[in-house]
Structure 1
Amino acid sequence: MRVISGSARGRALKSVPGMGTRPTTDKVKEALFSMIGPYFDGGAALDLFAGTGGLGIEALSRGMDKAVFIDQEHKSIEVVRANLKATGLENKAEVYRNDAERALKALAKRGTAFDLVFLDPPYRLKHGEKLMETMSSLQLLNEKATVVLEYESSFVYPESFGRFTEMRKAQYGETAISIYRYNNEDTETSPGEEPGGED
């Protein structure tokens, strides 16, 4: 694994030893960032199931101002810190060991909001939709934020729900990626209608 492009291009990344982590391959990572970037003019990113931190680090390398990395595994946190140091990006990052839902509540209390979110939960967990709704209700997403949801390709998430609309979807073997756009304005009310009226 390595950083594909940007300021830390070519830097090797450590993987998490002796665990069932499933780091996003370089091939998938390159395709993913060509869809959502490929480069960024600032902004804040959240890598919620960070694993090695590869996705958040790639986002920083490609121009994000800062990134928050969350994982509940101690070994993953150690690897994320090591990879940030190796890429020289540790001054742009915050790293926390926490459960995903608890972490979201803690971030909301700080008034943090993100422009880009990576959600790569273990494939056995099919709760990406719930986590995205939680982020919306906690006001953790800026207008037009991008949420990248990685999951098992045999599973299907809805094309739209709540304030999220799927912009792109791609499949790479057993891995599927859906890219959602967040709209924090009430778009369900047509011009001239009163909010709260029937759809």
Structure 2
Amino acid sequence: MKLHTLEGMGTRPTTDRVRENLFNILAPYIENSKVLDLFAGSGSLGIEALSRGAQSAVFSDSNEKCIDIIKRNLQHVKLFEKGQVFLGEAQLILKKLSQHGEKFDIIFLDPPYRKGIIPPILQFLEENDVLEDRFIISAESDIDDELPESTGGMVVSKVQIYGKSKLTFYKRNI
């Protein structure tokens, strides 16, 4: 189904090619998973995970217009009851989720490119105990963004390049 998106350059939707490859990689993890879509934009990644069998999804964005679009999209695809939508900065939302004992199997990080946002968010995810034992994080960034190979509790398991975009996957460091 076609989803609503924010007009203009305020968001950068994940391209169809990247999304297709992303979900091919995540396929073994999706069934009955709990998903966190940080920097959600239109919510397309979390909604796709729900449509492929995820149990629930939490969507977070700091843009009020994006929050409205996510809610409209969840209604449009008839998955509203499986989603929770939060307006606010990622760190504050993560703190709130941690305080409520929420933990996630799949986390999508798709913040604005070239802002250095992903490394501190990875650290924050660990510090706030929101990761299930068998988690996977997908971080989408600009090809030139420097991302850590590990953060203590997690390590890069795969990197995929698509033009100027890069998907970096993190799993538990065993």
- TM-score for the superposition, normalised by structure 1: 0.83
User: What are the within-5 Å matches in structure 2 for residues 18-97 of structure 1?
Assistant: 18-37=8-27, 40-97=30-87
- The alignment status of 1:147 with 2:137, answered yes or no, reads yes
Deviations 1:46-79 (A, max 9, x none): 0010001000001111111000000010110111
Give the CA deviation at 1:182: 2.3
Which residue of 142, 145, 152 maps to 1:162? Answer: 152
Structure 1: gaps (5+ residues): 1-10, 188-199
Give the CA deviation at 1:38: 5.6
Q: Percent sequence identity over matched residues?
A: 39
| Structure with larger RCO (C-alpha < 8 A, sep 6+) | 2
Give the CA deviation at 1:161: 2.3
Q: Give me the whole-angstrom Cα distance separating, in 2, the residues matched to 1:101 and 1:76.
A: 18
Q: Give me the whole-angstrom Cα distance separating, in 1, the residues matched to 2:42 and 2:32.
A: 22
Give the CA deviation at 1:158: 2.4
Segments ≥4 residues shifted beyond 3 Å: none
- RMSD (Å) for aligned C-alpha atoms: 1.3
Which residue of 162, 167, 172 maps to 1:172? Answer: 162
What amino acid maps onto 1:47 in structure 2?
Answer: D
Give the CA deviation at 1:42: 0.2
Deviations 1:168-197 (A, max 9, x none): 1111111111011024xxx5xxxxxxxxxx
Give the CA deviation at 1:156: 2.6
Partner of 2:124: 134
What amino acid maps onto 2:100 in structure 1?
Answer: R
Partner of 1:197: none
Q: Secondary structure at the match of 2:53?
A: coil
- Asked whether the 8 Å contact 2:114–2:141 carries over to 1, the reply is no
What amino acid maps onto 1:85 in structure 2?
Answer: Q
Q: Secondary structure at the match of 1:158?
A: coil
Bigger Cα Rg: 1
- Asked whether the 8 Å contact 1:39–1:62 carries over to 2, the reply is no
Q: Secondary structure at the match of 1:27?
A: helix
- TM-score for the superposition, normalised by structure 2: 0.95
Structure 2: gaps (5+ residues): none
- Asked whether the 8 Å contact 1:121–1:151 carries over to 2, the reply is yes
- Distance change in 2, residues 1:39/1:135 (3 Å): closer
Give the CA deviation at 1:39: 6.4
Partner of 1:121: 111
Give the CA deviation at 1:124: 3.2
Partner of 1:8: none
